[in-house]
Amino acid sequence: MNLNKKTVAVAISGGVDSSVAAALLKEDGFQVIGFTMHLWDFDAVGGNVFNESSCCSLNSIYDARDVCQRLDIPHYVIDVREDFEKYVISNFISEYLNGRTPNPCVLCNSMMKWKVLLEKANQLGAYYLATGHYAKIIFDSITKRYLLTTGKDDSKDQSYALWALTQNQLRHTKFPVGKYTKKEVRSFADDLNLKTKHKPESQEICFIPDNNYSRFLKQRFPDSIKQGEIVDTEGNILGNHYGYPNYTIGQRKKLGIAVGKPLYVIQIDPSRNRIVVGDKTDLETKGLYAKHVNWIAIDKLTNPMEVLTKIRYNDDGKPAQIIPVSEKEVKVIFKTTHQAVTPGQSVVFYRDNIVVGGGLINRALIDKPAL
């Protein structure tokens, strides 16, 4: 396939970051093509049908088209609803029903943007796919590897959600806004008078526009959301929950029980339809096991390595040692205990702001067996 290195397809979501990414690339002399994914419909996901400002909504598609017209670049809407349902929504549901807490943005990045969109970009002769993520890519001439690093704006850094990208995908990727702060990006959009210049950031998961996971899961699988027991670490029944998929590790609110002290969700047991609660100290974990590991800075892990480990998006990171278990599985030992290690979430390994790799948290490393 004959690809032009001066042609780039930009995933324009209808937000300010991707809009500015397209503008910056055109300013740099690239031939820019705008792509917007049609991921889902309101009649399929339910919820707040009036929240048309959410990411990937119809209004966002219209905003993306307006930006492309303003920048005088072609705009294509790519219908990926079937793939999105298959790869992202189905995984989201199955993870919650298995007592885990997924991060659908990670899967959407690897399976949708850097699979479906990159293939579409190549079909149109574009060598690169660009997005509005706050991250950077550099090429290491010594290791001959493309490295993913944190963006300039620490408060907006999105490298955590990009750990699953492969070397080939990084080779064909550009992150134009990664070297700027959010304030600078807003200023660029204002100077260009883009429609998205003051558009607020979307906080909810795009296909749950009302941010009501319980409603969404109950709508899809009504028989799976039912009451069960809430027990303490000794197995004593303290009350009832209203469906285990409505809870996550570390949750304190909405437990509906009172014992004179704060209690936290420390375990979700789908097989027995129950929630185990305990003290805050019961959330402390000395490590975890991660699966589906993808390496970016290295080819593979053959010996233990000291890294900074993040187990959630806003995590400051903790020093840890990662130990190979198999090709796609590692054991993580924290230097100090970490709280609320949540199966289904991502664990990402850093060294000097470079993403070494990442994976999915399979289970916490605990001393006492589960009830």
Q: Name the packing angle between helices 90-97 and 213-220 (round to 10°).
A: 100
Catalytic residue among 56, 68, 105, 108: 108
The SS3 assignment for 270 reads helix
Cα 248 from Cα 244, distance rounded (Å)? 8
Q: Are 134 and 160 in contact (CB under 8 A)?
A: no
Is 68 considered catalytic here?
Answer: no
8 CB-contact burial (10 Å; exposed 0-12 / middle 13-18 / buried 19+) = buried
Is 105 considered catalytic here?
Answer: no
Give the DSSP H or E segment for 34: strand 31-38
Report which of 116, 152, 111, 120 is spatially closest to residue 8, judged by C-alpha positions: 120
Catalytic residue among 55, 56, 105, 206: 206
**Gap between the terminal Cα atoms of the chain:** 56
Give the DSSP H or E segment for 22: helix 16-27
Question: Per the structure block, which two tokens stand in for 201?
Answer: 């950031």
Which residues sit opposite 23 in a β-bridge?
none
Question: Per the structure block, which two tokens stand in for 86?
Answer: 């298959």
Q: Tell me which DSSP letter residue 173 carries.
A: E
Active site residues: 108, 206
